[in-house]
Structure 1
């Protein structure tokens, strides 16, 4: 409300007059009222207003009125630009006023101070010389009725509060203005005074003046004041934000200038130093032109970024990753085949297939000079040395070694990486591993490939298809890098316990090499050459202070472990040498050459008993051979007859496939009852019960087919099974014997149990021919094609 200031910036005090309506003085009003046109303002009753007068007619008018102490009519012009307005150019409603004072200003202008008295309405023009004179009528305000007085008082109070808030937000207004408003008691004068000084154009003020109802005039003024206050608050907010923004920019500029000065003193801008360092490092990289162009383009982006922005660190990390990767940087292969063979034999006992394949690969590299590395997959039971073989292969080839565990991995981005636009994006683990090794042709172990998971994040096994395809991995695309990387020189070696959970497309891309379990003799050699020295050193036992004979090692293997590999054996030896370390540290006496009794004292009672065939076998009991995840096992199939109606009962925690084998066995014997001299009434008057002991252990698979036929036939014919005999094979309803798997593990289990004769399907002869002679010593194999041959060989 800056208009509360006078023209000379001097505050014009409120001259409240309770009688400004002049009802009692209406007789003193002139018959014809002289009009003074007002530009850019509207005079309200009761309000004192300074007006600058410049027109000759207006000057003459105010001097005449001031001399006679008469009245004039102040009326606003409709068009503010007119210099000599006529009656039609003025608003109809105006304010009767008196001249309080005429001021001659130093610049030669004249200012008149007038006070409005009452409203009037122009009627007819009487004269226009020397100034306009009109007939008129007084317009009285409509005072609110008694029932509206409380509402009118609330409106007036609201107007006063709004006006005070507006004054408070305008620091240029003198404090006297607020004081005057607070002490104004006449509500009509308060409305007119605030409307006169409010920031409104002439049309808006004229509109409020013309409202005769005081309540309506107050509401119209309230609406305008609310809008004005909101506008002032909005302006203040904007100014505050702009000021804060400017202050922040100035502060940042000042700090940046200081930083720049400090940096110059210390040797230069670190950003430029980093960029120069990256450029120098890039010159040494052996990457292709395409990768070089990508790097230079991304480096230009980094140069344009502000170091304080989050995007700067993302871009910097991306460029640093590109520089850290071994683009076409290879280690030289060692082509000394005899040395490679010695290293492989030194670190691992057995595993001839794997060693032979590695030596073949090395030989081709030596002759050809360049070869896409094969993708090997070693599969077999746990603890046989699949993972540790990778280190030996890397040493034999003279390459770097890296291992990546895939167990439980269920996010495709772990293989291919994330787009660098994501928050926290990083390369896939393939690229990260190569960055750590600093070589583009390491031996890369993909451990537990059969344990890969799958989730809504994608299928990592499918992402590995590109990695493990020799025809594709020379252009491996990592999402983070977004450029192709050559993996064709990497020797990937995957490991798995079982191939059943690995997808067919993935199997098709790998060269499968089976790693079988160890025999007792092999385990003894592994323990003697590797495990015992390792555990003695790990537990601080001096070399030569304790010795374990082969007999003792054999006892430990057979009595405290049951596995295909040697992991449990390693833990058992660790336990044994911990006990020995306690004896040595306590000063107790002990036997240097450890006996079986000493082992039993340190390790406790035997956990496992050696599997043996049952010497005093009865009819219906047959020894079968089974494959488990920890190696081969022997199992017994028992059958019995009881009076009944020909029902078949199966117990022993059998799976669906094994149950079907028992049903097939019984149905085959029923169909061949005549040839086997079995009375057909036996099937009608007796129930057959087939049981496989150790019912807590789930059992499944078709390998026990011929074992079940022999067991049921034995009890039906009353003939026992020959001693030291075991068998394995699948059967069909027509009596054919089909081949099975896990032959080596089953043979090892048979040797442990003291078996001498083994019945196998004829199609498994090729598996026997691939097994070393040392495993077959003391065993006689009988190859069969049908069940009749099995019964002829097995039954006494």
Structure 2
């Protein structure tokens, strides 16, 4: 419309500066045309109102050209003070000025209308987008975060969950009551007593794998909950994690054990928090275990720095969070995030750690905060009991020697159950998938043992020969496993007196050599013989590594037997360091060594008197003697005289 007005304005006679008014009629037509343009620009009604406001209404309606020109001036220039009537020679100039002002107004109006159109278009687009977003939010609120794709994937996962190929045999036979855990009576009692107290203690459980440490801890919590003295609530959590899998970032970007902070920029916090640059703390397993038990299996494998961080949590019973992005004065921070940053996350739990490591390898600071419980290695009779119980829970029959055979190849309850499961699968295969009345035979377990290429766990058994000259059983220990060490010696008169040779296998280690030299000094005192007159060869069968002096007494007895030709009973084993004065000094691992002797069929064990407190109580199948001197040892071994017996 404005473009049409501009064209109309350009067609007005005399609108160009070089044009001149030829007569009064031409001026009248030009003035009338200009009023027509103004009427189109403002509208007839608004033009009248505008003229009245500028005191130009009467002038606009006058028949005088000069008055109408004054009206144009007042309306166009918006100046009611214009009162000078135009002279004929000024009329062309005034009309040109009026035309230019109207042209400028029209141009400005055109630009404003174009901008307004664009603004309206953009506002309409934004309005439509806003309406669309609101509709999407309403649909999301009503339908949730699901759509056709997510529901399809969910249905696929549901279908996968219905497909079950197998169930873990160990899950089927896992003990559900304390009485079903075999061979750990003292340890179970100690564990229950520490959790049943009104002030339960953090606990470290030591022991070989597969003897029930994890299961005992889980059942102990269930039993403690039933007692009124225990602080554990009925719904107390039992959070189980493997220490070998607990990895963490030194920058604390991720820490599944203690918790971490998801920064809004680098780690992608929740969208609503990321948009407002608010960090989000993520509590860890220690908070999940609040009010219950945090069980860390293989805690000895936990990163040392992470262990120290865990110690701090045990002391404070809370986990603190820090982030450079956290602003306590930010109004966008939710209350729960403020609470986590200001007060930390609660972490009041009881720690139970299990490990197969030796106590000396565990962080001393951690040990000082925990009670320590030792689970014992399993002996063959106990493994047999586990196998028979597992067979009952599996609902299968086993032949008489199957459990005994399995007990000869492992000391782990878990491994014994797995061997039974393998034999069960083999038996089912032989019956072409028939599950009724399955019987596991001796041939089934023998085939499983061959397939697994297993050898008997206890390699050294006492021989059928009751006595042998120059041969004795020593005792060794590695971790929680005790074993029997076969030591033998031979002695021959030297070809020339005083020039005898002493030989031994160097692979046994330097402590082995020192024990032989100590034994030489003791033997000269008790026999009166100079071993320099003999060629003596001492051997540790299998080249066993002797890391300590505990084989000293056994070496002394082996050489003594070879020199005096007195046979040694083969149902006997001994451990202890020998001093050059003939005293039997204490050694480590006596508890484990006695269990190793039991597994090898040893019925009599000699240990240093200073180790008497390390002797297990209620031993029915092993006779333990605590000795102080080599003379007491000789009396027990060769003369069967009364000796100190461990109570």
* TM-score interval, smaller chain: 0.5 to 0.7
Shift of 1:425: 8.5
Find the partner of 1:448 among 290, 293, 298: 298
Give distance in 1, aligned partners of 2:415 and 2:281: 31
Tell me if the contact between 2:319 and 2:346 (Cα under 8 Å) persists in the aligned partners: yes
- From 572, 584, 605, give the equivalent of 1:737: 584
Q: Which of residues 493, 500, 512 in structure 1 aligns to 2:372?
A: 512
Counterpart residue number, 1:679: 529
2:284 to 432, 438, 442: 432
Residue 613 in structure 1 maps to residue 462 in structure 2: yes
Structure 2 CA distance for partners of 1:591 and 1:497, relative to 1, 3 Å: same
Give deviations 1:592-644, integer Å, cap 9, x for gaps.
66553554356449732764223445432111122234632211112234659
Unmatched 5+ stretches in structure 1: 1-105, 108-249, 275-341, 366-370, 537-542
* Aligned mate of 2:403, from 553, 565, 580: 553
Cross-structure match for 1:789: 632
In 2, the alpha carbon distance for the partners of 1:392 and 1:520 equals: 24
Counterpart Cα distance in 2 of 1:580 and 1:574: 10
Q: Which residue does the alignment assign to 1:651?
A: 505
Confirm or deny: 8 A CA contact 1:403 1:447 kept in the other structure: yes
Cα deviation, 1:251-279, whole Å, max 9, x if unaligned, reads: 999987555323434567999xx9xxxxx
Deviations 1:498-522 (A, max 9, x none): 2232121121111110011122222
User: Could you say if the C-alpha distance between residues 716 and 586 of structure 1 is closer, same or farther in structure 2, counting changes exceeding 3 Å?
Assistant: same
- Residues 570 and 587 of structure 1: is their aligned pair in 2 closer, same or farther, counting only changes over 3 Å? closer
Q: Which residue of 2 aligns with 1:387?
A: 214
Q: Which has the greater radius of gyration?
A: 1
Q: Describe the shift of the 1:347–1:740 C-alpha distance in structure 2 as closer, same or farther (beyond 3 A).
A: same
Alpha-carbon distance change, 433 to 474 in structure 1, aligned in 2, over 3 angstroms: closer
TM-score by length of 2: 0.59
Query: In structure 2, what is the equivalent of residue 54 of structure 1?
Result: none
Higher relative CO (CA 8 A, sep ≥ 6), structure 1 or 2?
A: 2
1:292-331 to structure 2, matched below 5 A, reads none
The equivalent residue for 2:243 is: 406
Q: Deviations over 1:461-514 (max 9, x none)?
A: 22222234xxx13233345754423323x1211011122321211211111100
**What is the CA-CA distance between 1:408 and the residue it aligns to?**
6.2
The answer to whether the Cα contact below 8 Å between 1:408 and 1:453 also exists between their aligned partners in 2 is no
Of the three residues 309, 332, 348, the one matched with 1:463 is 309
Residue number in structure 1 paired with 2:387:
527
Mapped to 2, the partners of 1:493 and 1:790 lie a distance apart of 42
> Alignment partner of 2:569: what SS?
coil
Pairs aligned (count): 441
Give 3-state SS (helix, strand or coil) of 1:694's partner: helix
| Deviation, structure 1 residue 726 | 0.9
- The CA distance in 1 between the partners of 2:478 and 2:206, in whole Å, is 14
Q: Within 1, Cα distance between the matches of 2:122 and 2:535?
A: 95
Q: CA RMSD in A?
A: 4.0
Aligned residue for 2:540? Answer: 692
Is structure 2 residue 604 aligned with structure 1 residue 757? yes
CA shift, 1:795, in A, is 4.0
Q: Which runs of 5+ in 2 are unaligned?
A: 1-91, 94-119, 145-174, 226-233, 270-278, 324-339, 640-647
Shift of 1:448: 0.6
Of the three residues 341, 350, 355, the one matched with 1:491 is: 350
Q: Give, in whole Å, the separation in 2 of the partners of 1:679 and 1:387.
A: 57
* Equivalent residue, structure 2, for 1:264: 134
> What is the rounded CA distance, in whole Å, between the counterparts of 1:430 and 1:678 in structure 2?
77
| Contact kept in structure 2, 1:394 and 1:400, CA below 8 Å | no
Per the TM alignment, residue 711 of structure 1 is displaced from its structure 2 partner at its CA by 1.8
CA offset at residue 677 of structure 1? 2.4
Are 2:566 and 1:719 aligned?
yes
Q: Could you give the per-residue CA deviations for residues 317-343 of structure 1, whole angstroms, max 9, x where no partner exists?
A: xxxxxxxxxxxxxxxxxxxxxxxxx95
Q: Distance in 2 between matches of 1:391 and 1:364?
A: 16
> Aligned in 2, Cα 1:262/1:593: closer, same or farther, shift over 3 Å?
closer
Task: Look up the match of 1:667.
Answer: 518
Say if 1:416 and 1:477, in contact at 8 Å, map to a contact too.
Answer: no
- CA deviation vs aligned residue, 1:210-249 (integer Å, no higher than 9, x gap): xxxxxxxxxxxxxxxxxxxxxxxxxxxxxxxxxxxxxxxx
